[in-house]
Amino acid sequence: MRKFLDTAPLIYLVEGHPEFKDIVKKILSESIVDNDILITSVITILEFGVKPEKENRQDIILQFRELLDRLNTRIEIVDEEIATNAYKLRAKYKFLKGMDSIQLATAITSGCEEFITNDQKLERIEEINIHLLKRK
């Protein structure tokens, strides 16, 4: 199965979030055992890097990159097809923000069956199975 990793789960894992770190570990461990293909996008790199860069925490950025490498995560580049699919999603789902629509379009265009996130509002997306870390 192809699974897309949104930014927040990766942040939770690298930064050791007390509530979500173990949930993300379990999901990723199961994915490894099942030989799932893990995918994310260049947008994840952009979103992840902001806080550590502001705080001059290159060690956190290095941990993130090492995690992606260890998981053999495929990093997709946003192209015209993804951009087109993203604007179509934004037109359909008025609540979607630009970056979210790009992440979702990348997942869908890459053939992912599952989108792993903790963004509750994305549960309303019909085009891909949304795997929330925690439901309200």
- How high is the pLDDT of residue 136? 65
Q: How many domains does the chain have?
A: 1
Domain that holds residue 30: 2-132
Alpha-carbon torsion (8, 21, 15, 34), positive or negative: negative
Kind of pairing between the strands at 114-117 and 2-5 = parallel
Q: Distance between CA atoms of 7 and 46, rounded to whole angstroms?
A: 9
Enter the DSSP assignment of 134.
Answer: S
Q: Distance between CA atoms of 118 and 77, rounded to whole angstroms?
A: 22
- How high is the pLDDT of residue 134? 87
- Structural element, H or E, at residue 103: helix 98-109
- Spell out the per-residue pLDDT of the chain, length 136, in tens: 999 999 999 999 999 999 999 999 999 999 999 999 999 999 999 999 999 999 999 999 999 999 999 999 999 999 999 999 999 999 999 999 999 999 999 999 999 999 999 999 999 999 999 999 987 6
Let me know the angle formed at the C-alpha of 14 by 10 and 11, rounded to the nearest 5 degrees. 40
In CATH, what number is assigned to the domain containing residue 98? 3.40.50.1010
